C-alpha cells in the first residue's frame, strides 16, 4: 500500500475516536512530545497553555459538543491526558508558522482532480495514517490524517461527494474561539458546498485554514481568518493555492511568508507554461525543484519541512490516491475508495 497505515472504523463519535486512539497510541504520544518541545523555551508552564486552550473549549462545546466526544475517545483510546490532547488540537497555541503544502485543482474531461503536496516537519512522515470512517451509519469519511489530531487535518472526502483539502495560512487577528482543526473536522460532515461554507464562516472561530472544496463539479476556495472569510467560486480550468492569503484584505494583516509566495509564483509560472494541462504535467509541476520556490521540498539543515505525502483525488469516482514521501520520487499511488 501507500506506506501509510490504514484503519477502518465505525460507530459514534466517541467510538471512532477510541478505536483510532487505541490503534495509534505510539504515534499520539510522539505527536504530543514533538509539539510540546516548543513550550520548553517558554516562560510559562504547561498549565498556562491548558488554561488558555480551555477558553477555546468553551466555544467548541457550544457549537460542536459531539466533536469533543470524539477527542475524548481519542484520549481514552490512546491513554494520553485529555487536556493535553485538546491542547494539541488547539494548534495555534503550540506551533509557529509552518509553510506547508501546495494544492492544484484541475478540470479535465467533465471531472475535477485535486493534487496536493503535504508538507510538514519530516519527523511526521511516520505519524500519518489513512482512515475510513462509518459514522453512525449516516456518513462515511475517507482521508489522510496526522496522529493526535481530529480527523480532517489534511485531505478528506465524504460519502456525500464533498472533498476538502486544507492549507495552513497565518493571520495576525488570531483570537480565542473554535480551533481551526475543529472547523475542518466539522466541514467533513457537510452535504453541500454551502453548508461547508457556513461552518467555515462561523464568527466564533479563533483562526482559520484555507479550504479547497470540491463537489458536484464545482470548486470553492474559502480563505478564513477566523472572524471573517472569503469565498472564491472557481470557474477556471485550474486553480492553485499555497500558504498565504490571495484575498488582498486578509493579506494586508497576514504574516509575511516569502517561501509560500515564491512557491506560488514558481508553480503558477510552470502551470501557465504547461498549458493545456494534463495529469503528467501537473505531477511535473508538483515535483519541481526549480528556483527559490521549490515545490517538491526535501529536508535539509536549513529546511526541516519536506514533502511527506503526495495526494491525488478523483472527484467523480470519489477515489483517493496516496504515495508516501517526496512527489518527485513517487511512482506508484495506492488507491482508496469510499
Residue 191 is classified by DSSP as S
Distance in angstroms (rounded) separating the CA atoms of residues 70 and 94: 21
Q: Which residue segments constitute the domains of the chain, with CATH numbers given?
A: 6-93 (no CATH), 102-337 (3.60.60.10)
Count the neighbouring beta carbons within 10 Å of the beta carbon of residue 133: 24
Is the separation of the CB atoms in 295 and 286 below 8 Å?
A: yes
Predicted confidence at residue 246, as pLDDT, reads 95
Pairing verdict, β 128-135 and 6-11: parallel
Distance in angstroms (rounded) separating the CA atoms of residues 82 and 68: 10
Q: Which residue reads 466555544 in cell numbers?
A: 59
In 96-237, beta strands by DSSP E: 102-108, 111-121, 128-135, 139-146, 155-158, 163-168, 209-215, 218-224, 229-234
Per-residue pLDDT reduced to its tens digit, 181-209: 999 999 999 999 999 999 999 999 999 99
The H or E element containing residue 53 is: helix 46-63
Q: What is the pLDDT along the chain (338 residues), one digit of tens a residue?
A: 568 999 999 999 999 999 999 999 999 999 999 888 767 777 788 899 999 999 999 999 999 999 999 999 999 999 999 999 999 999 888 766 566 799 999 999 899 999 999 999 888 999 999 999 999 999 999 999 999 999 999 999 999 999 999 999 988 777 899 999 999 999 999 999 999 999 999 999 999 999 999 999 999 999 999 889 999 999 999 999 999 999 989 887 777 788 899 999 999 999 999 999 999 999 999 999 987 789 999 987 777 789 999 999 999 999 999 999 999 998 788 899 98
Pairing verdict, β 218-224 and 229-234: antiparallel
Find the angle CA(219)-CA(259)-CA(213) to the nearest 5 degrees.
15
Is the separation of the CB atoms in 20 and 7 below 8 Å?
A: yes
Count the neighbouring beta carbons within 10 Å of the beta carbon of residue 67: 24
Record the cell numbers describing residue 137, joined without a space. 451509519
Provide the whole-model pTM: 0.95
| Helix/strand/coil (H/E/C) assignment for every residue in 85-120 | HHHHHCHHHCCCCCCCCEEEEEEECCEEEEEEEEEE
Distance in angstroms (rounded) separating the CA atoms of residues 211 and 221: 6
Amino acid at each position: 500500500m501507500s506506506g501509510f497505515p490504514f484503519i477502518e472504523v465505525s460507530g459514534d463519535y466517541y467510538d471512532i475516536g477510541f478505536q483510532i486512539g487505541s490503534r495509534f497510541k505510539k504515534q499520539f504520544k510522539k505527536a504530543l512530545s514533538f509539539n510540546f518541545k516548543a513550550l520548553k523555551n517558554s516562560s510559562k508552564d504547561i498549565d498556562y497553555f491548558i488554561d488558555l486552550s480551555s477558553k477555546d473549549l468553551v466555544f467548541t462545546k457550544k457549537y460542536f459538543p459531539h466533536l469533543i466526544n470524539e477527542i475524548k475517545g481519542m484520549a481514552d483510546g490512546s491513554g494520553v491526558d485529555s487536556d493535553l490532547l485538546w491542547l494539541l488540537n488547539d494548534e495555534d497555541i503550540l506551533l509557529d508558522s509552518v509553510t506547508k503544502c501546495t494544492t492544484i485543482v484541475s478540470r479535465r474531461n467533465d471531472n475535477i482532480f485535486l493534487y496536493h503536496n503535504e508538507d510538514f516537519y519530516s519527523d511526521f512522515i511516520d505519524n500519518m495514517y489513512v482512515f475510513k470512517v462509518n459514522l453512525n451509519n449516516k456518513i462515511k469519511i475517507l482521508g489522510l490524517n496526522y496522529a493526535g489530531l481530529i480527523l480532517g487535518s489534511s485531505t478528506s472526502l465524504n460519502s456525500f461527494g464533498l472533498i476538502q483539502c486544507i492549507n495552513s495560512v497565518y493571520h495576525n487577528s488570531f483570537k480565542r474561539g473554535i480551533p481551526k482543526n475543529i472547523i475542518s473536522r466539522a466541514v467533513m460532515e457537510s452535504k453541500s458546498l454551502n453548508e461547508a461554507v457556513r461552518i467555515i464562516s462561523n464568527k466564533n472561530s479563533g483562526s482559520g485554514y484555507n479550504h479547497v472544496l470540491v463537489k458536484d463539479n464545482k470548486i470553492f476556495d474559502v480563505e478564513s481568518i477566523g472572524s471573517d472569510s472569503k469565498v472564491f467560486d472557481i470557474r477556471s480550468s485550474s486553480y492553485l493555492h499555497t500558504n498565504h492569503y490571495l484575498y488582498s484584505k486578509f493579506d494586508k494583516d497576514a504574516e509575511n511568508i516569502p517561501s509560500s509566495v515564491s512557491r506560488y509564483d514558481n508553480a503558477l509560472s510552470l502551470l501557465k507554461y504547461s498549458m493545456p494541462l494534463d495529469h503528467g504535467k501537473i505531477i511535473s509541476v508538483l515535483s519541481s525543484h526549480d528556483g527559490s520556490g521549490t515545490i517538491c521540498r526535501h529536508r535539509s539543515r536549513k529546511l526541516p519541512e519536506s514533502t511527506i505525502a503526495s495526494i491525488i483525488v478523483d472527484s467523480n469516482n470519489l477515489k483517493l490516491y496516496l504515495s508516501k514521501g517526496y512527489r518527485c520520487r513517487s511512482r506508484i499511488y495506492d488507491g482508496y475508495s469510499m
